[in-house]
Amino acid sequence: MKKRAIQVITVIKIVAFALVLIAARWVLVNCYANTDNMFFYGSFRSDIYHRLDCSFDMFPKTIKKEWTVLDYHFWYLADFLKDNSYIYLDICFNSEEEYEAELERVLSVKSPTYNSYDVFVENTQDFNYQAFELMGREHGSNNPWQYVLVMPDENRIVYIFLYFAPIKSAIPIEFYPVPYIEEYAKYGF
């Protein structure tokens, strides 16, 4: 009888220890953010910069009060196995001069990588809008999509960062790159 009681207590201790480990992993590793509140704009720079090896320099450091933010959303989920994230910012500029100055700033961004710099190049084949994509690394399992969609007739720039982000998000489907949609359909992330 005593031997059976010791076995039960041992099993209870093992189960309790496993539950503590699972809870600790959840608390220490998981990180979640989901907001469309402009008050938190820019917090993604420090939140996920180090985990995803991205500088996010294509996004404006601050939003000028003269600009009209049409939409903004930041979503981030990290768990033990992978990170998932998207940042979506849609801005309409009040003048053509402001629009052109911001586009010039964006296109001059050089994002540091391991041994070189990623630069913006026009991508005419993967998007439904005129797009400039931060290139330097091939798309694949660990490389995010970072791009801007430009709509000169509307003085509008849409900034998008995608990293294993779900298609069902705040980002309109027509703003996704076609290969991303195809990859998502194939692998589901």
Question: Which comes out higher in pLDDT, residue 186 or 92?
Answer: 92
> For the chain, how many structural domains are there in total?
1
Provide the b/e sequence for 6-33 (b: ≥16 CB within 10 Å). Answer: eeeeeeeeeeeeeeeeeeeeeeeeeeee
pLDDT reported for residue 116: 55
Average pLDDT over residues 175-189: 79
pLDDT reported for residue 151: 95
* pTM across the whole model: 0.76
Length of the chain: 189
139, 44 contact by CB (below 8 A): no
- C-alpha–C-alpha distance, residues 131 and 159, integer Å: 10
Per the structure, the complete domain to which residue 117 belongs is given by: 31-187
In-domain check, residue 12: no
In-domain check, residue 11: no
Backbone angles phi, psi at 136, to 5 degrees: 155, -35
Average pLDDT over residues 12-26: 75
In-domain check, residue 108: yes
pLDDT digits over 29-76, tens only?
Answer: 456 677 778 877 776 655 555 556 566 788 898 899 999 999 999 888
Question: Which comes out higher in pLDDT, residue 178 or 111?
Answer: 178
In-domain check, residue 42: yes
10-19, 76-85, 142-151: least confidently modelled range: 76-85
In-domain check, residue 20: no
pLDDT digits over 85-110, tens only?
Answer: 888 999 999 999 999 999 999 988 87
In-domain check, residue 3: no
User: Residues 55, 59, 61, 62: what is their CA dihedral angle, to the nearest 10 degrees?
Assistant: -160
In-domain check, residue 94: yes
In-domain check, residue 14: no
Confidence category of residue 153, pLDDT binned at 50, 70, 90: very high
